[in-house]
Amino acid sequence: MERITQTLSILTEADKESADEPRVLEDELAVGKKRLYIESYGCQMNFSDSEIVASVMRNAGFATTASADDADVIFLNTCAIRDNAEQKVRNRLKQLNILKKRKPELLVGMLGCMAERLKAKLLEEEKMVDIVAGPDAYRDIPKLVEEAESGQKAVNVFLSREETYADISPIRLNSNGVTAFISIMRGCDNMCSFCVVPYTRGRERSRDAHSIVREARDLSAAGYKEVTLLGQNVDSYKWTSEDGLENVNFAQLLERVALVDPDLRIRFSTSHPKDITDEVLHTMAKYDNICKYIHLPAQSGNDRILKLMNRTYDRAWYIQKIDRIRAILGEDCGISHDMISGFCSETEEEHQDTLSLLEYVRYDYGYMFAYSERPGTPAAKKYADDVPYEVKLRRLNEIIALQRELSLERNQRHIGQVQRVLIEGFSKRSDDFLCGRNDHNKMVVFPKGDYQKGQYVNVLVTDCTAATLRGVTV
């Protein structure tokens, strides 16, 4: 988050195993064009952004390549959410420096959140970088490339209050042809104390609802079977037309996209506990093609820590939201989480509150991290990062161990059930098996038979692990 892979759906065990691996674009057949190579790190928003960058660069006369060795321009689309993510990019730059010494005309650019966080300082720290562009500067990239080709270092890290890239059709070159992302909003206004996103992606703004529906319709017409609506906080989506006559909230947008095609499955990420509404949950219940799965980050199970994190809800509020999900969407609705161990001043008792929250909710899976202080965030300025690393790691391992138990328990619920599965391709372990996700975003593996990628099949679940369901078609 050095291989070609498919665009991923969200937050599966397979995703977690490769969360720090970059995604790259595929080869595009072209003669006489300059070649663009992009590696994307981090979240799904970055993968979606890389598809926008590829579209902008195609219009500027570039074709994409899956090999850095063949490229005229290399972009690393970076993540700044953890220090580990930034270190991976810096290590990758060292590798690319060897290539640049062999090929001095090669241009190397840094895009995304790490570029926005460090700005022009990146050019001082990483001498081989020629271009630095933040998440709102992608329209400007062809001009930045021209500047760099003339021998100048090129930087644009301007954060916009309006940019949504609504009129740019992303190039789905790293897609499996079955699932795709649709970015519905950019930026974040939540200002969680541990998070760099408001500073690297700017303030929240929602994309024109009509352009989102149009993109979903185009993807459906092109044969895609599933779309994921993306935003840092999709539940705060709110678009108003220029004449002020049309107001669309997230529940209403969800319904509009669901009505595009009953065979087009809809997912979304990420939800914020303070904003998710019963209206959204009832809309999910109303339409069979809206997947019954919600990623609802908690970050901690303790009220004092949640307040230090500026999450703007407490444990009781969060639990009430979980109870509403179960009441409206049923016990089988998939729920996943983000959880941070060892946040500033966290005590052992407060850590136990996190474990007890996991026990109460009984999540299907989650993203779990030890706290990593990010420069410039409110937490870095106001609080001491005073939980020893060994303690953070031990608490993290306890969270992970409990979640594995819960994941297995939740998957065992499906044994004996028939699940509708959208086939995404071959299983990673064997071409004799196919895999795809069910409604609850769980990977299901089954013998391939005569089935093809992009088909819906009914699978009787016969066995499972904590990460995967296994079965046979019926």
Is 216 within a domain?
yes
Ligand-binding annotation for 291, yes or no, is no
Ligand-binding annotation for 43, yes or no, is yes
Give me 425's structure tokens.
Answer: 């391709």
Q: What is the DSSP letter of 18?
A: T
Is 164 within a domain?
no
Measuring CA to CA, which residue among 65, 68, 56, 201 is closest to residue 141?
56
- Looking at the fold, whether 372 and 404 belong to one and the same domain comes out as yes
Between CA 276 and CA 295 the distance in angstroms is 11
Using the 3D structure, point to which of 122, 156, 190 is the last residue of a domain.
156
- Looking at the fold, whether 232 and 371 belong to one and the same domain comes out as yes
**Three-class SS of 125-159:** HCCCCCEEECCCCHHHHHHHHHHHHCCCCEEECCC
Question: Which CATH number is 13's domain given?
Answer: 3.40.50.12160
Q: 368-424: per-residue pLDDT in tens?
A: 999 999 999 999 999 999 999 999 999 999 999 999 999 999 999 999 999 999 999
Is 169 within a domain?
no
- Looking at the fold, whether 296 and 373 belong to one and the same domain comes out as yes
**Phi, psi (5° rounding) for residue 450?**
-105, 20
- Looking at the fold, whether 377 and 231 belong to one and the same domain comes out as yes
247, 274 Cβ separation under 8 angstroms: no
Of the chain, the end-to-end C-alpha distance in Å amounts to 35
Ligand-binding annotation for 79, yes or no, is yes
228, 215 Cβ separation under 8 angstroms: no
206, 184 Cβ separation under 8 angstroms: yes
pLDDT at 43: 87
Question: Which CATH number is 456's domain given?
Answer: 2.40.50
Q: 168-198: per-residue pLDDT in tens?
A: 989 886 678 899 999 999 999 999 999 999 9
Between CA 407 and CA 411 the distance in angstroms is 6
pLDDT at 172: 81
Between CA 231 and CA 319 the distance in angstroms is 23
- Looking at the fold, whether 267 and 383 belong to one and the same domain comes out as yes
Using the 3D structure, point to which of 359, 392, 412 is the last residue of a domain.
412
For the chain, helix, strand, coil in percent to 5 are 35, 25, 40
Measuring CA to CA, which residue among 149, 61, 147, 62 is closest to residue 104?
149
167, 218 Cβ separation under 8 angstroms: no
**Phi, psi (5° rounding) for residue 260?**
-60, -45
Q: Output b/e per residue, 145-172; b: 16+ Cβ within 10 A.
A: bebbeeeebbbbbebbeebbbbebebbb
**Phi, psi (5° rounding) for residue 472?**
-130, 150
- Looking at the fold, whether 70 and 49 belong to one and the same domain comes out as yes
E strands in 258-391: 265-269, 293-295, 334-341, 365-370
Give me 341's structure tokens.
Answer: 């161990």
Q: What is the DSSP letter of 290?
A: B
168, 49 Cβ separation under 8 angstroms: no
With vertex at residue 32, the alpha carbon angle to CA 28 and CA 34, rounded to the nearest 5 degrees, is: 65
Q: Output b/e per residue, 108-141; b: 16+ Cβ within 10 A.
A: bbbbbbbbbbbeeebbeebebbbbbbbbbbbbbb
Using the 3D structure, point to which of 389, 412, 435 is the last residue of a domain.
412
Measuring CA to CA, which residue among 61, 29, 51, 167 is closest to residue 111?
51
Is 424 within a domain?
yes
- Looking at the fold, whether 364 and 428 belong to one and the same domain comes out as no
- Looking at the fold, whether 329 and 359 belong to one and the same domain comes out as yes
Is 162 within a domain?
no
Between CA 411 and CA 1 the distance in angstroms is 25
Question: Tokens 């220090």, residue?
Answer: 83
- Looking at the fold, whether 279 and 303 belong to one and the same domain comes out as yes
Is 188 within a domain?
yes
Is 364 within a domain?
yes
Q: Which residues span the domain enclosing 469?
A: 418-473
- Looking at the fold, whether 194 and 341 belong to one and the same domain comes out as yes
Between CA 200 and CA 318 the distance in angstroms is 27
pLDDT at 33: 86
Question: Which CATH number is 403's domain given?
Answer: 3.80.30.20
Is 205 within a domain?
yes
Ligand-binding annotation for 333, yes or no, is no
Q: H-type helices in 178-309, by residue range?
A: 197-200, 209-221, 250-258, 278-286, 303-308
- Looking at the fold, whether 123 and 237 belong to one and the same domain comes out as no
**pTM score, two decimals?**
0.89
pLDDT in tens, the chain (474 residues): 222 222 222 333 344 333 445 666 666 656 678 999 999 998 889 999 999 999 999 999 999 998 999 999 999 999 998 888 899 999 999 999 999 999 999 999 999 999 999 999 999 999 999 999 999 999 999 999 999 999 999 999 999 989 999 999 898 866 788 999 999 999 999 999 999 999 999 999 999 999 999 999 999 999 999 999 999 999 999 999 999 999 999 999 999 999 999 999 999 999 999 999 999 999 999 999 999 999 999 999 999 999 999 999 999 999 999 999 999 999 999 999 999 999 999 999 999 999 999 999 999 999 999 999 999 999 999 999 999 999 999 999 999 999 999 999 999 999 999 999 999 999 989 999 999 999 999 999 999 999 999 999 999 999 999 999 999 999
Q: What is the DSSP letter of 81?
A: S
Quote the number of domains for the chain.
3
437, 421 Cβ separation under 8 angstroms: yes
- Looking at the fold, whether 203 and 257 belong to one and the same domain comes out as yes
